[in-house]
Chains A and B, each alone.
Chain A
Amino acid sequence: MDALVLLTLFVPFVGFLINGIFNRYIGKKAHWIAVPALGISALGGLAILWQVAGSGQVFENTFWTWIIADKLHVPFGYYIDNLAAIMVFVVTFVSFWIHLYSVGYMAEDRSYARYFAYLNFFVFAMLLLVMANNYVLMFVGWEGVGLASYLLIGFWFHKKSASDAANKAFIVNRIGDAGFLLGIFTLFALFGTLNYTDIFGSNLTVNKGLLSLALIFLFIGATGKSAQFPLYVWLPDAMEGPTPVSALIHAATMVTAGVYMVARSAPLFVQVPEAGYIVALTGAFTAVFAATMALVNNDIKRIIAYSTISQIGYMMVGVGLGAYWAGIFHLYTHAFFKALLFLGAGSVMHAMHDVLDINRMGGLKEKLPHTFWTFLIGSLALAGIFPFAGFWSKDAIIHYSELSGYSIIFYLTLTGVLLTAFYTFRLVFRVFFGEPRDRELYEKAHESPPVMLIPMWVLAFFAVVAGFVSGWFQHFLEAQLPHAHFEHTQAGITLPIITNGLALIGILIAYFMYVKPAVPSSLGENPIVKGIYKILYYRWGIISDWYEIVLMGWLRSLAAGVYRFFEDLFIDGTVVGSAGLTAATGNIVRKLQDGKYSTYALLMTAGFILILYLLVL
């Protein structure tokens, strides 16, 4: 297992080093290193899953002790159980297809090798996060993923919007990371160790209040990386990066980290269900809140971005309520269909010369048949229509939220289904159906090359079938993960009918608004509708813009004021008071500065003797 883990983890890292250091010489050949590296990693991931599934045991080993201080021993080692194995598989498998797709998508870019270096690094950091056997090492991967996203979101750094978005992603994530750190400190205070095995194996009936606090701190970290309310704000802006990067961030790496972290801490969360409830409630709220912003957006990538925030919210509901397998199951199905949707969006942009505004699209169904069909499959999966992948996982989560007895969470998740179906199909209808709204663009549109279409079809295949394994998946994860005890009422037929009905209603509303307009246009004139539209269009104002308004605006102004009035006048008052003295000294220094080193040597010796003299007497 050692060799397998090292291979899976470090081959992408070696790819990063090669492409990163020699990028000038490698140039357009970078994919010959990066894609096979991910291929090897993905095969390794598959082998790990195979071994873990076959043996049913947890693999753990330590290579060396990284940090030692007093009682703190932080090893560099791995911990592969069923959960980690699933994650490794999803991360490497989906990333591989995104790498392959990038070969076509980024073909024209002048920083081709740099792009692939970052991409490899991203996967490496994510794998480190997943495979680590302690919280500190997880944090290394956690911040590594943050760095990778910073580099990739700001990949086209000459665009101010891109480097702004990169900064925003890093800084907002840092807020979460600070929470993560506090979580680590609190756990250490509770258990005296940070290794999973030691923590989970120790007596967990510790101070419940402190444990809740630790878990809430950890969850603050999760809200950053997994883009939950209120730290979700970086994610829509992250669309500034190349589109395959969005696929990587949203599907395989980064945003799933928070969900994984909560699931990883399952043995702790089951001790204090109240902390889990906060997770679930935040997730449910975010699921609906993010969906509302997707309703009226006109940017093809941002709509999908809001849907990611919303879907991660569902996963949080799952893991928060203690139905860990359901949350992770949704993570797994979502990885396929969300990667697919982003690759589809990239394909559309590729065809439309990087236009993002869905108002300028329309009717692309005939022009881009492969993109259309795969995108449709992805959309059906996202909307949760039977029997596509999203249906199985999302319904499982909604089922558990019903069983949990927290009706507010249940109703929020149901609302989310309706909204999701609506905005997803609004997107599909606006892009692929109807008349082309920009003739010129439409005429020039062309289908993408096979190197892009093949990954899309592969992912589309999984977006259809990935959900069929739900029974096995539940069994597999629950064999090792603790879970909350629900009354095991078998999921009946009622709930699927309700969710599919809601989804169909959403699709139909979209249909009658955008394909066969049946909604009276006077509705748009209604002041209430207009007001709601405006609020959503501006993404709830400061709630979405606090980074720009508060962090980059108010706080900077405050600091500038303090600098001017406090730092300069008050603290520095000594100098203001002795301005005259300053001038006098200046004169003396100037006179002494006659350029003869002997003077200086003399002065120095004199000063030295003076000090001695003063002291001894």
Chain B
Amino acid sequence: MNGILSLLIWVPVIGALLLLILPRDRKFVLGYSLVVLGMEFLLSLIALGSFDLSRAGQFQLMEKYAWIPSFGINYILGADGLSLLMVVLTTLIALIAFASSLRLIKDGEKVFAFFFLILTGAIVGVFSSLNLFLFFVFYEMTLIPAYFLIGMFGDENRYRSVFKFFIYTMLSGIFMGVAIIYLYLQTGTFDYMAVRSSTALMDLSVQIWLFLAFALAFAVKSPLFPFHSWLPDTYVSAPISVTVMLSALMAKMGTYGFIRFAIPLFPQGAAQMSNVIAVLAIIGIIYGGFMAAIQTDLKRLLAYSSFAHMGFIILGIFAFNVYGLQGASIQMINHALTTGVLFILLGFLYSRYRTTSLADIGGLARVIPFMMVIFAIFMLASIGLPGLNGFIGEFLALLGAYNANPWWAYIGVIGVIVAAYYMLPAYQKLAFLNSSDKLKTQDMTLYEFLTVLVPLILVFALGVYPKMALQYTEPTSASVVEVVNLRRNIQPEVIQEELQEIQGMEAQEEETIEQGEEQ
């Protein structure tokens, strides 16, 4: 299935552009967008089906075209197991995020749908680009629709929030842009594979600087403590479906960026900085948890909770062993499913009560018992109850952390306690206390249930049979670990000697790409 990744990127974008000339009728616009997103999801399933799992470590579904030849900018797409899962996740989350919040989209649904579709396409682009320039374009392109979606459809603090969001992510992105240009000047190419095999020769200090430039962008996006201050305000101000996109998908662009770019490109730099980043991740886990514990607004609480949970992913990555990276990979999926759906459920509550403040709603287990059961399941998955999906990721990430440095696990494990410490009292207020007849409303509708059904099934399926996701990411995780372990603590002179070998690998990889093209 050649060209499917392009389809996945451009179907929503073209769909958005078509929207401009289509009628304005609200029902039509929303229905049309759902169809586009539905097609997008089906396309991703086709991509999943045509993916050869036995070669999950290699890039498949490759596409390569010259784009701006004078600068060596090629349009290269490709997906290994990790990318592919992220793409499928993107289309799934985009579909259900949009479908679940139809009632919440205010006037201007056409504009909303336009930007939402563009955002979806851009995120898919981020997860499938194998050219640094292309990656950067998509990476920055996600910002613009997100900016407008929040700035136009957000709550009353949206200007302040969106400004903060934009400044933070834009500024941090610029560092990465500069680093990419520097890489181009040094290596003469933007192609991921080519750059990857030539960065090993750079001086350690250069590697560290380049790594930091990339890492800053990803640290803001993920976010990593203390680069998170844009997050709570932005998540709270954004309309719910956009909050879902931000927390479930755009945060993963950061962690994906670490795994795909920052670490394999600059393994020595990454190894040098791993202690710092792991410690910041651990601080984030605990700090975010305690900040969540004192929130009275459920949306802000979930925002901090999302931030705290991202810490486990970053910690797992920087453990630099297969446990940690596999934990991080599957946790990226878990986090998207659980946090994403918790926000969606919050949207259902908001559409009923027009508030997410725990001061105003409570005792809902009596009023909307079924929805509270669903909420509880996702909450338990989020706090890592074994048997559900969240446990696998946290367990592997912490196991990886332990193997890297036992102290990371000794401290990081506090996050497991804190998760219950902020979630359960919040759920107690939401579901059990201060029930009031004023809150009487309809329980979860069948439509609402269907929008979260796939994640609900996955929460159980991944918890019981995590292999279905782990097998896709294992080769990628292993190769990242290998490249780091190969490089860490190795002097440049030794690397010089390895040059021969690397070039051999390079040739091999080129071959694979060509093979992919032929297919």
Contacts and interface: CB of A to CB of B under 8 A. Distances in A.
A63 to B, nearest CB: 11
A295 B332 CA distance: 52
Interface string B417-454: 10011001100100111010000000000000000000
Contact of A157 (B141, B152, B290, B365): B365
Contacts of B115: 600, 604
Contacts of B467: 65, 67-68
Interface in B202-234: 226, 228-229
B144 A598 contact: no
Contacts of A555: 290, 293
Interface string B143-178: 011001001100000011011100110000000010
B44 interface: no
B223 to A, nearest CB: 11
B395 A574 contact: no
Given A559-B290, A560-B294, A615-B133, A170 B159 contact: no
A264 B322 CA distance: 29
B420 A144 contact: no
Contacts of B327: 69
Given A571-B229, A581-B163, A551 B321 contact: no
Interface residues of B, number: 78
Given A69-B396, A585-B163, A140 B466 contact: no
Chain A, interface size: which category? 35 or more
Contacts of A586: 159-160, 163
A308 B458 CA distance: 40
A219 B230 CA distance: 41
Given A67-B396, A597-B111, A181 B416 contact: yes
Interface string B16-29: 00001000000000
B114 A189 contact: no
B109 to A, nearest CB: 10
A563 B291 contact: yes
Contacts of B403: 185, 189
B474 to A, nearest CB: 7
A608 interface: yes
Contact of A185 (B137, B291, B321, B409): B409
A581 B432 CA distance: 44
Interface centre among A163, A170, A185, A558 (most CB of B within 10 A): A185
B386 A597 contact: no
A433 to B, nearest CB: 40
Contacts of A589: 151, 159, 162
Contacts of A614: 177
A203 B162 CA distance: 60
Interface string A135-146: 010011001100
B118 A597 contact: no
Contacts of B12: none
Contact of B417 (A178, A185, A574, A590): A178
B428 A163 contact: yes
Contacts of B359: none
A603 B143 CA distance: 13
Q: Which of B71, B111, B365, B380 has most chain A Cβ within 10 Å?
A: B111
A601 interface: yes
A376 B111 CA distance: 76
A151 to B, nearest CB: 9
Given A171-B417, A182-B413, A140 B387 contact: yes
A170 B322 CA distance: 31
Nearest to A23: B369
Interface string B117-145: 01000000000000001001100110011
A562 interface: yes
B163 A177 contact: no
A616 B68 contact: yes
Nearest to A20: B373
A581 B159 CA distance: 11
B386 A139 contact: yes
A178 B395 CA distance: 11
B433 A178 contact: no
B291 A567 contact: yes
A567 B295 CA distance: 13
Interface string A583-610: 0011001100101011011011001100
Given A144-B387, A178-B417, A608-B141, A616 B392 contact: no
A175 interface: yes
Nearest to A561: B294
A444 interface: no
Nearest to B399: A185
Contacts of A556: 293-294
Interface string A425-461: 0000000000000000000000000000000000000
Contact of B159 (A189, A551, A582): A582
A174 interface: yes
A163 B432 contact: yes
B229 A147 contact: no
A139 B385 CA distance: 10
A178 B425 CA distance: 19
A182 B409 contact: yes
Contact of A593 (B152, B290, B414): B152
A567 B229 contact: yes
Contact of A158 (B108, B396, B421, B432): B432
B464 interface: yes
A66 to B, nearest CB: 7
Interface string B298-324: 000000000000000000000001110
B238 to A, nearest CB: 14
Interface centre among A188, A189, A567 (most CB of B within 10 A): A567
A597 B421 contact: no
7 contacts: A69-B323, A72-B396, A143-B386, A157-B432, A186-B406, A597-B20, A616-B71
Interface of A: 64-70, 72, 136, 139-140, 143-144, 147, 150, 154, 157-158, 160, 163-164, 166-167, 170-171, 174-175, 177-178, 181-182, 184-186, 188-189, 551, 555-556, 558-560, 562-563, 567, 571-572, 574-575, 578, 581-582, 585-586, 589-590, 593, 595, 597-598, 600-601, 603-604, 607-608, 611-612, 614-616
Given A171-B417, A171-B424, 12 more contacts: A144-B385, A147-B385, A154-B432, A164-B428, A167-B428, A178-B416, A181-B398, A189-B403, A589-B151, A590-B159, A595-B108, A600-B152
Interface of B: 20, 68, 71, 108, 110-111, 114-115, 118, 133, 136-137, 140-141, 144-145, 148, 151-152, 159-160, 162-164, 167-168, 177, 181, 226, 228-229, 290-291, 293-294, 321-323, 326-327, 363, 365-366, 380, 385-387, 391-392, 395-396, 398-399, 402-403, 406, 409-410, 413-414, 416-417, 420-421, 424-425, 428, 431-433, 435, 464-467, 470, 474, 478
